Structure 1
Amino acid sequence: MVEKGSINYEVFGSGFPILIMHSMGTDHRSMVSWIEPIFEKVPDFQRIYIDLPAHGGSVVDESFNSSDDMLTNILDFIDKTIPNQLYSLIGLSYGGYLAQGILHHRRKEVKSICLLATALHLKERTLPEKVVLLKDEMQLNELNPDIRTAVETLLICQNKMNLGYFLNEIQPGRLVANKNFLMSNWKEKGYFLADEPFHDIELLLQPALIIVGKQDSICGYQDHLFLIEKFPNSTFAILDQAGHMLQIEKRKIVQDLMTDWLLRVS
């Protein structure tokens, strides 16, 4: 149990803890399948995959209505699960926004951070024009309308392999997400954290990895450039031919960059 509900999670391995947070609308399984192979070559890390509040098996109470509540529940989970320890963070998309919030509040505890196609604390985003580089109409025609809409929104390379990744990794979490909350008006009233991450500090010295897709029409890439200066000990990669689902469309290079980050951390 946490302050405003409960957090469902799954742990792999042992060693230095890494808290891993998925994107909005799915669950922790969307991260496990492609991150776990990295640790076959990089031992001595404990991977803690959580379902974000109102996602997967994580339950929220009736008072829950904002990103601040999301952050409150996750910080409470950290305090109860890995108390008085250093840890690292991996966050994808909205999970990356929450990772920034954790680092903002727990700078002395967070050893390093990895942000993937992360959302930022911006009410207006600089976004590239939506493009589609590959489109397999035969495969798309076999999908139900809801899944097809999601695929066409999130993927710029809509081929058989990427559709398979989406169906196996993203779609299971979409089926169990708390739609009553996610489809409510919380985004209009409570999406942005009350305390803007990093606004009060010039430099963050944690080893960082920031990866963005050049064709990401959801979170963009140009707005993220300030993070290069904010994190002087960082690797910053803008991947061409990658949209918001860069962990699907550029899986191998994302895994390689994350391996490099982990070796720097260790």
Structure 2
Amino acid sequence: MTDSAIRHTAFGDGTPLVLIHGYTVDHRVLLPLEPAFADRPGWRRLYLDLPGHGASPRLSGPTSAAALAEAVFAWIDAELGGRPFAVVGQSFGGQLARAVTARYGEQVLGSALLVPVVGWGEDRTLPAQTVLERDRELFDRLPAAERELFEYTTARLDKRNWELFEQYVLPGWRVHDRAAAAELEADFMLPHWPERQAPEHRGRHLLVTTRQDALVGWHDQLALLDHYPRMAATVLDGAGHNPQVEHAEAVRGPFGAWLDELRRP
């Protein structure tokens, strides 16, 4: 363990794969990806807790997108040195993963971006919030704050998805640093699109979005295809902002194919 403000959870051995979660959750939101590695040995999965999230203390100074990106860069420098690695980013972590690819260039084998942030506030093209299914009896029993978060990020509000939400989303949400999160929300975007500060990246890349994501949308993310000539894209139907939780099998398909592509010459 380094002196970094970032703590991480590791599984497996082999090529490093850095996984970066989104805003106000922690690394557990990405754990549903783990079954994809059952028959794909040779990956050391490094699940980060961003500063102010999970087990990681908040930054000593103000929290912003740029400050968190610098913290991730410092962690990579300390933990990985010059070794090749791949990166996964979910939601806000997708913005940071894009910055990592721009910063480290050919050292990055490729990236998988799950519902990545590309704009915020009025700079988003969002679909109408859509609930495809609702278990009214279950929904009405939930605490108000958790009910609101569940409804805002999930397309099918049923017992199965609530249990997944309790296991993978709520633990990080309950322990995140509220003051740091408020600072980050006020300074949520990097100064520039990372891709516009770097040459085309010709590694293997994956984009996964969902039609029912009312938080970051799906339309704006398609512009990323212009910056990554080897990017595959999947727009899922039937899931909200945490598709790797709500629609895990549908995500693990293209995610597993991306891992396989990274192994090709």
TM-score (norm 1): 0.93
3-state SS of paired residue (2:47): strand
Using the alignment, how far apart are the partners of 1:180 and 1:200 within structure 2?
31
- Equivalent in the alignment of 1:103: 101
Stretch of structure 1 that moved more, 71-80 or 229-238: 229-238
Letter of the 2:217 partner, please give it. G
Using the alignment, how far apart are the partners of 1:18 and 1:261 within structure 2?
12
- Equivalent in the alignment of 2:48: 50
CA drift of 1:2 comes to 7.2
- Equivalent in the alignment of 1:164: 163
Stretch of structure 1 that moved more, 200-209 or 65-74: 200-209
Q: 1:14 aligned to 2:7?
A: no
Using the alignment, how far apart are the partners of 1:150 and 1:106 within structure 2?
35
CA drift of 1:220 comes to 0.7
Unaligned runs of at least 5 residues, structure 1: none
CA drift of 1:141 comes to 2.2
- Equivalent in the alignment of 2:90: 92
| 2:201 and 2:228 in contact (8 A); partners too | yes
Letter of the 1:26 partner, please give it. V
| 2:50 and 2:68 in contact (8 A); partners too | yes
3-state SS of paired residue (1:17): strand
CA RMSD of aligned residues (A): 1.7
Q: 1:258 aligned to 2:255?
A: yes
Using the alignment, how far apart are the partners of 1:2 and 1:212 within structure 2?
34
- Equivalent in the alignment of 1:64: 62
Using the alignment, how far apart are the partners of 2:52 and 2:12 within structure 1?
26
3-state SS of paired residue (2:238): coil
3-state SS of paired residue (1:6): coil
Question: Which 4+ residue blocks in structure 1 deviate beyond 3 angstroms?
Answer: none
Using the alignment, how far apart are the partners of 2:115 and 2:199 within structure 1?
22
* CA distances 1:115-137 after superposition (whole Å, capped 9, x unpaired): 00110145511111111101011
- Equivalent in the alignment of 2:222: 225
| 1:55 and 1:178 in contact (8 A); partners too | yes
CA drift of 1:181 comes to 1.2
Stretch of structure 1 that moved more, 68-77 or 235-244: 235-244
CA drift of 1:239 comes to 0.8
- Equivalent in the alignment of 2:34: 36
3-state SS of paired residue (1:199): helix
Using the alignment, how far apart are the partners of 1:248 and 1:10 within structure 2?
18
CA drift of 1:194 comes to 2.4
Using the alignment, how far apart are the partners of 2:157 and 2:165 within structure 1?
10
- Equivalent in the alignment of 1:73: 71
Using the alignment, how far apart are the partners of 1:109 and 1:206 within structure 2?
10
Using the alignment, how far apart are the partners of 1:31 and 1:43 within structure 2?
18
Stretch of structure 1 that moved more, 119-128 or 132-141: 119-128
Using the alignment, how far apart are the partners of 2:155 and 2:161 within structure 1?
10
Which of 213, 229, 244 lines up with 1:247 in the alignment? 244
- Equivalent in the alignment of 1:196: 193
* CA distances 1:66-94 after superposition (whole Å, capped 9, x unpaired): 11110111111111111111100001101
Unaligned runs of at least 5 residues, structure 2: none
- Equivalent in the alignment of 1:27: 26
Q: Would you say how many aligned residue pairs link Structure 1 and Structure 2?
A: 262
CA drift of 1:53 comes to 1.4
